[in-house]
């Protein structure tokens, strides 16, 4: 069974996110889901990541079937949630003042895919992702966090570490290596 990789990023997280995406091999069988705190603003994140990486990348669409070897980005002003086999978008209440937010994605991924989920929290200026990462590890998944000392805005990684995070924080380079190895091993 292929892995489900969920990534949360906000202020200061684009650089580490690009490093992770660049490290994913074209043979990656995982499905990758990314939430960036962009609110209602237009975003070209899928274009940026498609130019840097080896996997097809696009904004997620309501009800879309999940495919292996693809990167899905939460569209502006929509939470992205996973059900087994499909993606669901909504404009529900903001979480940690953000929509899209990481916690709805992370929690839904943990509930639908359990131990197959790898969650990653990158640089950001609030606590989003901490509850979701805890849910991932509680369901047997792997939780990874960018080293707060490296993060431009360490609040998100610190919140995840404080929320009972079992793995030591990693630099962006080590995160990229770890995710690529995990992707290749599946």
Domain ranges of the chain: 4-185
CB-CB contact of 179 with 118 (8 Å) = yes
Q: How confident is the model at residue 185 (pLDDT cuts 50, 70, 90)?
A: low
Model pTM? Answer: 0.95
Is pLDDT at 184 greater than 70 in this prediction?
no
Is the model more confident about 72 or about 44? 72
Q: How confident is the model at residue 1 (pLDDT cuts 50, 70, 90)?
A: low
pLDDT digits (tens, 9 = 90+) for 104-127: 999 999 999 999 999 999 999 999
Catalytic residues: 10, 37, 128
Tell me if residue 154 falls in helix, strand or coil. Answer: strand
CA distance 78 to 48: 20
- What does each C-alpha distance from 144 to 33, 64, 132, 175 come to in angstroms? 15, 27, 12, 7
Instruction: Write out the CATH class of domain 4-185.
Output: alpha beta
In the structure encoding, which two tokens stand for residue 130, read together?
């901490």
CB-CB contact of 147 with 163 (8 Å) = no
- What does each C-alpha distance from 44 to 38, 73, 127, 137 come to in angstroms? 11, 10, 24, 31
Average pLDDT, the chain: 92
């Amino acid at each position: 069974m292929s892995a489900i990789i969920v990534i949360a990023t906000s202020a200061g997280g684009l650089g580490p996110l690009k490093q992770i995406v660049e490290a994913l091999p074209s043979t990656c069988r995982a499905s990758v889901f990314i939430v960036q705190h962009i609110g209602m603003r237009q975003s070209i994140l899928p274009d940026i990541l498609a130019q840097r990486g080896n996997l097809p990348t696009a904004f997620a669409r309501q009800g879309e079937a999940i495919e292996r070897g693809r990167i899905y980005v939460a569209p502006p002003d929509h939470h992205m949630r996973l059900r087994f086999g499909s993606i669901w978008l909504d404009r529900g209440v903001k979480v940690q003042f953000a929509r899209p937010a990481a916690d709805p994605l992370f929690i839904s991924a943990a509930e639908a895919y359990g131990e197959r989920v790898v969650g990653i929290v990158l640089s950001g200026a609030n606590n989003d992702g901490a509850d979701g990462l805890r849910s991932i590890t509680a369901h047997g998944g792997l939780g990874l966090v960018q080293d707060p000392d490296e993060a431009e805005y360490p609040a998100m990684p610190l919140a995840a570490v404080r929320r009972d995070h079992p793995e030591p924080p990693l630099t962006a380079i080590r995160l990229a290596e770890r995710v690529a190895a995990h992707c290749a091993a599946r």
